[in-house]
Amino acid sequence: MNFISLLYALFLAGTLFFYWRTDGQQSKLWTIVISSLLFYALFYKDRPPLLLLLNLSLLGTIIFVNFWIGKLLLESQIIEYRSARNNLREPGELPFLPRNKAERKRVVILGIAFNVLLLLGSKYIPFLLTTFAGLGFPALEGAALWYRSNILPPLGISFLTFESIAYLVDVYKGSPATGNLLKYAAYKAFFPKLISGPITHYHEFSPQLNALKFPTIEIIAEGVWSIACGAVKKTWIADGLGTYVNLVWDPSNLERAGSIDLWLALFAYGWQLYFDFSGYVDIARGTSLFFGIKLPENFNFPYFSTNIADFWRRWHITLGDWLRHYIYFPLGGSHEGLKRTCLNLLAIMVIAGIWHGADWGFLVWGIVHGLALVIHRLTAHFSAKNLAAQAFWASRSGQFLGWLLTQPFVFMAWLFFRLPKLANSTLVLQNLWGKPADAQFASKLIEAGVKLDNGQILACLLAVSLVTGGIYYWRRVLKLELGWGVKLFLIPVAFYLVWMLVLPGQGSPYIYFDF
């Protein structure tokens, strides 16, 4: 089911009707769980029923196993506290219950291993089989082809895995767990965030479930505004740019596209990805407000960051937070010396690359971002010993230079994200300079509905950049927001513009649904 469709609007309206018509928390939790399972099932309406059953079973397994491990950790902590003055088991205590922190740590490690292995088994087996086939085991190639054709990774498996690991680690460290399976299932399966996040923490989500109340007019209006903004981002900008990007970077066209086309597609994809993903998050956050739930922000104008570390504090914020808290800090963070800090930075970005997809391009993307973070950390380390360097990087000239170094790198690195097959991405790199376009390429653009020449496409990209920059200046520098009168005028205009481009139920899928 596409977020931008009449089907989704009817589904949301029906769900909200039953949600707020029911009394009590339990009924509302059941409404969330049932509607979320239906939402998930509608994504597989064109797939074999057996595949739907398999993936629903996997979703249920993830929810139940992580709930059970969290409950085990909670009961262990309670019993250890109660029996701190003796070494006797309490009546009714489970014989396999962890007895101390060391045993609880082993349980957490087993829980993390379960989630990681489930992710590997769901998403990476074909890639691993193909890799080993290329190392001298050709029989595995057939198995990889069969797996790709018959087993599809469950939607949202990457996000579910990271949320589950965060829950177990948080409970181990003392955050509240839950003994209510229904409540945990509602947290995990909440459909606005089920497929592509934002990554949320149970201890932030749960208190909102305990205090559900019908949203005020202001909150409802904010939700509608957020959905309208997200829909415009997706249909008018992301999908518009995507038509050109998909054509240029179609593997069959890479040899025909000229250097100028490749450069334009490179920067167009960076903006497409941003507006596609942030548009999804806007709709997810707006939808959640109707349920009395607030999801975390995930973007903060990342293309205006002036260094790569700041970029990762602004881009996919919940993923960056997860990587810091559950990998970077446990590895020692920046407290184990400069060399160890650089290795830790490289490690978290390699993991980020692998998490996004099963292909070599994602690994390369992670490595180059890790190296960029290492270079930034080394620059900051040596600049800290030089007052002139500190003053320069803090000045407007230094900030501008930092932005000029950061953003072209970010856009270039997206190449491996969009073309994860190294043969394709390498071909683009080779053709970025001095390659004329094939004569047939222009006709292909026209056939696909792209009637703009390169100068006009460049003008469109500059317009997108300038408008986004203006919004950034308005909201982050001047600290201003649009008044409600203006928003109420723009909301119907936005939905009308979206309706002009998208026939009911025919919107293009979100890019991050593949991850």
DSSP letter for 508, please: P
pLDDT band for 180, please (50, 70, 90 cuts).
very high
Residue 437: strand, helix, or coil: coil
Report how far residue 129's alpha carbon sits from residue 475's, in angstroms, rounded to the nearest whole number.
49
pLDDT in tens, 198-220: 999 999 999 999 989 999 999 99
Q: In this structure, what are the phi and psi dihedrals at residue 201, rounded to the nearest 5 degrees?
A: -105, 140
CB of 302 within 8 A of CB of 443?
no
Report how far residue 23's alpha carbon sits from residue 137's, in angstroms, rounded to the nearest whole number.
60
Which pLDDT belongs to residue 505? 45
Whether the pLDDT of residue 434 is over 50: the answer is yes
Report how far residue 390's alpha carbon sits from residue 492's, in angstroms, rounded to the nearest whole number.
49
Whether the pLDDT of residue 164 is over 50: the answer is yes
Q: Which residue, among 294, 42, 58, 23, has the nearest Cα to 161 in the 3D structure?
A: 58
For every residue of 403-416, DSSP letters joined together read HHHHHHHHHHHHHH
Q: Which residue, among 294, 281, 186, has the nearest Cα to 234 in the 3D structure?
A: 281
Which pLDDT belongs to residue 453? 86
Average pLDDT for residues 304-312, to the nearest whole number?
A: 97
Share of the chain above pLDDT 70, in %: 95
For residue 77, count CB atoms less than 10 angstroms from its CB and return exposed for 0-12, middle for 13-18, buried for 19 or more: middle
Which pLDDT belongs to residue 471? 95
Report how far residue 183's alpha carbon sits from residue 413's, in angstroms, rounded to the nearest whole number.
40
Name the token pair of 84: 């701190």
Which pLDDT belongs to residue 96? 58
Which residue carries 């960056």 as its tokens? Answer: 320
Q: Name the more confident of 101 and 491.
A: 491
Q: For Cα atoms 159, 197, 358, give the angle at the middle one, nearest 5 degrees.
A: 40
pLDDT band for 141, please (50, 70, 90 cuts).
confident
Average pLDDT for residues 38-54, to the nearest whole number?
A: 83
Whether the pLDDT of residue 64 is over 90: the answer is yes
pLDDT band for 94, please (50, 70, 90 cuts).
low
pLDDT in tens, 478-510: 998 888 888 889 999 999 988 887 754 456 788
Which pLDDT belongs to residue 367? 97
CB of 301 within 8 A of CB of 314?
yes
Average pLDDT for residues 83-111, to the nearest whole number?
A: 69
* The three-state (H, E, C) secondary structure of 99-143, written as one string: CCHHHHHHHHHHHHHHHHHHHHHHHCHHHHHHHHHHCCCCHHHHH
Q: The whole model's pTM is what?
A: 0.93
Whether the pLDDT of residue 85 is over 60: the answer is no
Report how far residue 214's alpha carbon sits from residue 354's, in angstroms, rounded to the nearest whole number.
41
pLDDT in tens, 364-385: 999 999 999 999 999 999 999 8
Which pLDDT belongs to residue 69? 94
Q: Please state which of the ranges 3-17, 287-301, 432-446 shows the lowest mean pLDDT.
A: 432-446
Which residue carries 């930092």 as its tokens? Answer: 402
DSSP letter for 28, please: H
Report how far residue 510's alpha carbon sits from residue 515's, in angstroms, rounded to the nearest whole number.
10
Q: Which residue, among 68, 128, 78, has the nearest Cα to 99 in the 3D structure?
A: 78
CB of 352 within 8 A of CB of 336?
no
For residue 311, count CB atoms less than 10 angstroms from its CB and return exposed for 0-12, middle for 13-18, buried for 19 or more: buried
CB of 367 within 8 A of CB of 422?
no
Catalytic residues: 356
Mean per-residue pLDDT over the chain, rounded: 90
Q: Name the more confident of 485 and 307.
A: 307
Which H or E run includes 368?
Answer: helix 360-383
Average pLDDT for residues 233-256, to the nearest whole number?
A: 91
Which pLDDT belongs to residue 482? 86
pLDDT in tens, 10-33: 999 999 999 999 989 999 999 999
CB of 154 within 8 A of CB of 59?
yes
